[in-house]
Amino acid sequence: MQKIGMTTTIPVEVIYAAGLIPVDLNNIFVTHPNPQSLVEEAEIAGYPRNLCAWIKGLYATTLQNDDIRTIVAVTQGDCSNTHALMETLEMAGVKVLPFAFPFDRDYDLLKLQMEKLVTAVGTTWEEVTLAKARLEEVRQRVKEMDRLTWQGDRVSGWDNHLFQVCCSDFEGDPEAFASRLDAYLAELPQRDPIKADIRLAYIGVPPIMDDLYDYLEERGARIVFNEVQRQFTMPFDIDDIVEQYRTYSYPYGIFYRLEDITRELERRQVDGVIHYAQSFCYRQIEDLIIRQKLKYPILTLEGDKPNKLDARTRMRLDAFLDILR
């Protein structure tokens, strides 16, 4: 089956309904053996240094994967740099299908965007409905894993992050992904409990560094809420697929996102919040609003290139945990 790339989460049911294999380019980029080399490849091609590393990674990742010749690029509701990414990929011979989440969450506009995508990939609403039912079975398993994260003590913050972030494309094979998750859940009773006296929430885009969760757990803290990653799982139990993606909070404004964040912080009884923002991203400005609206201790972290936590960030994390204790 033909693969189709995605710059972020989209109505993936449409892609599966068309008999295509969705590929979240972010996941391919960040799990590359040397993701920094992809960033450098984009910079050699002409991408500026003072630009989000994710965008540069998506560019190089797409060009390195010859079996991905079509991508769906989200032009509204994600990163404004995606527009230039689309144009440079088109110059390289990649077919680009635009998709926009309306900022005001207008139902009719969102439905129109989905209808255009349905037509572009050559499927029908009937097939989309069947694909939604297929994916819903997997999403329910992920929802249970998330519940066990904050109501139990054996699911690590990293595992919670990883399984949920993979729900953007279900790794191209929902049934295989579900089997892997089932095996993980079956092992949980035999695992040693995670000893952590501090419960944290992680809000913002997924981190570009891969050792944050382990670093926190080594110091007696654990993340029991991954905001955006959880949104990728569509944890809403909504039959109407348009309404499902209207409820999905990530592409919309910070005030709407904060409604979901506030509910989950209270429900999961967190002690503090880590707000992650990517370097050169407009979402850094939203930190001003988050700090005024949330009545929790907040540590804002900034990440640039794919690597490990630097010494300064580790020191700030240590100080934050000391304050919470």
pLDDT digits (tens, 9 = 90+) for 128-177: 999 999 999 999 999 999 999 999 889 999 999 999 999 999 999 999 99
Residue 269: inside a domain: no
Count of all residues that appear for the chain in the document: 325
Amino acid at position 209, single letter: M
- State phi, psi for 213 to the nearest 5 degrees: -65, -45
Helix axes 53-64, 82-91, angle to 10 degrees: 20
Domain of residue 27 covers 3-125
Mean pLDDT over 80-86 rounds to 93
Residue 202: inside a domain: no
Residue 225: inside a domain: no
Which token pair is 281? Answer: 């991203």
Identify the pLDDT of residue 80. 84
CATH number for the domain including 104?
Answer: 3.40.50.11890
Residue 168: inside a domain: no
Which token pair is 157? Answer: 């913050």
The candidate with the shortest Cα–Cα distance to 77, out of 47, 53, 110, 108, is 110
**Cα torsion for 288, 289, 295, 297, to the nearest 10°?**
-30
Residue 231: inside a domain: no
* 126/175 Cα distance (integer angstroms): 21
Residue 282 has pLDDT above 80, yes or no: no
Residue 307: pLDDT band by 50, 70, 90 thresholds? confident
Residue 11: inside a domain: yes
Q: How far apart are the first and last CA of the chain?
A: 52
* 9/232 Cα distance (integer angstroms): 7
* 285/28 Cα distance (integer angstroms): 28
Instruction: Note whether 100 and 114 are within 8 A (CB).
Output: no
Q: What is the DSSP letter of 193?
A: P
* 324/199 Cα distance (integer angstroms): 10
Residue 1: pLDDT band by 50, 70, 90 thresholds? confident
The candidate with the shortest Cα–Cα distance to 203, out of 222, 221, 230, is 230
Residue 102 has pLDDT above 80, yes or no: yes
**What are residue 71's DSSP bridge partners?**
5, 96
Residue 112: inside a domain: yes
Residue 291: inside a domain: no
**What are residue 84's DSSP bridge partners?**
none
Give the count of domains, the chain.
1
Identify the pLDDT of residue 284. 84
